[in-house]
Chain A
Amino acid sequence: MAGIIVNQSKITDIDGAVKLCPFGAIEYTSNEVQINAACKLCMICVKKGPEGAFIFQEDKVEEIDKSLWKGVAVYVDHLDGDIHPVTLELIGKAKELAAKINHPVYAVFIGSNVTEKANDLLHYGVDEVFVYDNAALKDFKIEPYTAAFEDFISKVKPSTILVGATTLGRSLAPRVAARFKTGLTADCTILDVKENTDLVQIRPAFGGNIMAQIITPNHRPQFATVRYKIFNAPERSENPNGKVTVGTVPQDKLASAIEVLKIKQKEAEENISDAEVIVVAGRGIKKEKDLEMINELAAALGGQVACTRPLIEAGWGDPKKQIGLSGRTVRPKLIITCAVSGSVQFKAGMSNSDVIIAIDEDPKAAIFDVAHYGIVGDIYQVVPSLLEKIKSM
């Protein structure tokens, strides 16, 4: 079993050893320093502990033949054939990754009456679109969708599969990944690929102010989900390239224990992901009432208001207005953050914005690491002063 081995003889300072672990996974019981189930294999104890005290022991693994898995595939997220824009963004990234390792780019399109639409993807540089078009696939039901996806993977053997982290993608990708007993990394913010075709997946991790680089060294396919507005969509080219291939799912695998009784259209609501200008309120806002000043600023700039997680937790905002890892990703032309410290989780949702202006009284706030204009000041002074100027225009 892979894990951390403790070399008791190398430990002189027991207390210090126990304190090494930020997750409380090192404990002193039965006169021994032990690693408990809280271990996340972050390797801090190996690196920071006394020399040779904590040793990482790896498993012997059966190597897989990675050359048998070829292609970077994108799942086509859509509603009744309307393709979600995250799909094109992923195709853009897939092309980049595929070019590095000389792999083809695939798309897998599952639905009803979608074959026509599949042709459109050929304008974006997909080499081959695999279509599963069947009336039984009209509504999203987990079993038949997984069956179609499974058929695609078994036949095509793609090395990497990118899925949009939409509501549907977050439900489907883990299901398919588990079927193939392979790895899935959620909400990646940076993707790259190694020469040996290992996908380099980077995302905020451990709930801390830290990024992790995650790989799936010995399993294929490698699954990653990515949110909307993280990558760039490619330009549409006039001339289509590549081909559409029709796949079929065996009839018996189209059955489902789920019956869709009714679909209600939700009222179209403002979506911060589509906003061109956003003003963000952070925990430096002292009272709910003070949000008025933020609302006013957003209105004056013709933009929308968003907030950080603590404000949502306090019940001061609609969860749909949260920016970040567990909220939405945004990419506006202008974003002004007001009293936001700039945790990795927050930045993961906005760092690609065109112009970032940050107002924070702490000159060391991490938000200034991504800001283009960093304003060290009190929002209770800067914002009213700015509003006054705008009003007297």
Chain B
Amino acid sequence: MEIVVCIKQVPGTTEVKVDEKGNLIRDGIDSKMNPYDLYAVETALKIKEEKGAKVNVITMGPPQSEAVLREAFMMGADDAYLLTDRKFAGADVLATSYALYQGVLKTGKPQLIICGKQTTDGDTAQVGPEMAEYLGIPHVANVKKIHEVKENSIVVEMDMPTTMEIVEVQFPCLVTVEKGIFQPRLPSYKRKKQTVNKEIVKFSLKDFEDQDEKQYGSSGSPTQVERIFPPDVNTDKEMWEGSGEELGDKLFKKLADLKFV
């Protein structure tokens, strides 16, 4: 069987900050694999070990996002695809999903597509379901457990707010997995040595079946950022300073006033 795992490179520990004038600043381009996607890769590798499968990883992003594909190689992925093109820049959820859908088509005929639950930068949890729609296949989100991988289907446990649902989905299908579904393995040094020169397949718009520029990047994005601004400041507040003792005392009195103690 063929599995495709969608992985994304996200900013690492350094976060984007904003200065007094409302400008974005970011020092260092520290980046890493989206933590949720590590679980997605691990899930695919577990299925590979148990049932035998070819695990392909795919990412859309700037050239440097090759790094996360290399990391997936070090974990045990078989083939890697990098979708990169200036024309993909500025993509919102819809355009990202569309490019990934076109990319997935180029990898072969996967029975199973695995996404992370969400990214730590985009943070929408929407790319998976939108891709599934484009692919015309069912999806199950928030998968917490894989019960069984059968010949033509997969039995998974879906985490809902008040219930756990065990569902069986026919292939081909897409699942998004929760943190903690399996403990992701660490990249192996041995595999690193084996795969340093392993080729990464790169696709740009001209390799896709649908080469209509209007589907991709900012042109294919129905949503537009109209303006960015620093968050509101509440000026109607009391600020207290003093020793720990004084502040504790004052706070106690305030809580008593407000009838919380």
Seen from chain A, the residues whose Cβ lies within 8 Å of a Cβ on chain B are 1-3, 22-25, 34-44, 48, 59, 79, 139, 141-143, 146, 166-168, 170-175, 177-179, 181-187, 200-201, 204-219, 256-266, 268, 277, 300-301, 319, 325-326, 333-334, 343-344, 347, 355, 357, 359, 363, 366, 368-378, 380-390, 393
B92 to chain A, nearest CB (A): 7
Q: How far is the CB of A58 from chain B (nearest CB, A)?
A: 9
Tell me if B124 counts as interface (CB < 8 A to partner A).
yes
- State the main secondary structure of chain B at its contact with A: mixed
Q: Known interface pairs A38-B61, A259-B167. Does A171 touch B29 (Cβ–Cβ under 8 Å)?
A: no
B230 contacts A by Cβ under 8 Å? yes
| Most chain B CB inside 10 Å of its own CB: which residue of A3, A146, A205, A206 | A206
- The answer on a CB contact under 8 Å between B173 and A257 is yes
Inter-chain contacts of A38 with B (CB < 8 A): 61-62, 64, 89
B166–A215 CB distance below 8 A: no
Known: A170-B141, A261-B168. A24 touches B239 (CB 8 A): no
User: Of the candidates B124, B173, B258, which one forms a contact with A334 in the assembled complex, judged by CB atoms under 8 Å apart?
Assistant: B258
Asked whether, in the complex, the Cβ of A184 is within 8 Å of the Cβ of B173, the reply is: no
Contact of A210 among B61, B84, B165, B229 (CB under 8 A): B229
Asked if B93 is an interface residue, CB under 8 A from chain A, the answer is: yes
- Interface size counted on chain B using CB atoms at 8 A: 102
A178 interface neighbour in B10, B97, B165, B245, Cβ under 8 Å: B97
Q: Is the CB of B244 within 8 A of A37?
A: no
Q: Which DSSP category, helix, strand, loop or mixed, fits chain A's interface?
A: mixed
Q: Is A374 a contact partner of B93 (Cβ separation < 8 A)?
A: no
Across-interface contacts of B84 in A (CB, < 8 A)? 37
Contacts A36-B89, A259-B167 given; indicate if A170 touches B242 (C-beta within 8 A): no
Given known A211-B230, A256-B138, A375-B247, contact A22–B24 (CB-CB < 8 A): yes
A258 & B168 in contact (Cβ 8 Å cutoff) = yes
Query: Contact between A25 and B165 (Cβ–Cβ < 8 Å)?
Result: no
Q: B199 at the A/B interface (Cβ < 8 Å)?
A: no
B26 to chain A, nearest CB (A): 4
Residues of chain B having any CB pair with chain A under 8 Å: 10-11, 15-18, 22-26, 29, 61-64, 84-90, 92-94, 97, 118, 120-121, 123-130, 132-134, 137-142, 155, 159-170, 173, 179, 213-214, 217-219, 221-234, 236-245, 247-252, 254-255, 258, 260-261
The complex places the Cα of A185 from the Cα of B260 at a distance, in Å, of 38
Closest chain B CB from A115 CB (angstroms): 23
- In the bound complex, do residue B16 and residue A207 qualify as a contact, i.e. CB atoms below 8 Å apart? yes
Say yes or no: B248 contacts A171, CB within 8 Å.
no
4 interchain residue pairs of minimum CB distance:
A381-B244, A385-B248, A208-B16, A183-B222
- B162 contact set on A, CB distance < 8 A: 79, 265-266, 268
Q: Kindly state the separation between the CA atoms of A343 and B120 in the bound complex, as whole angstroms.
A: 14
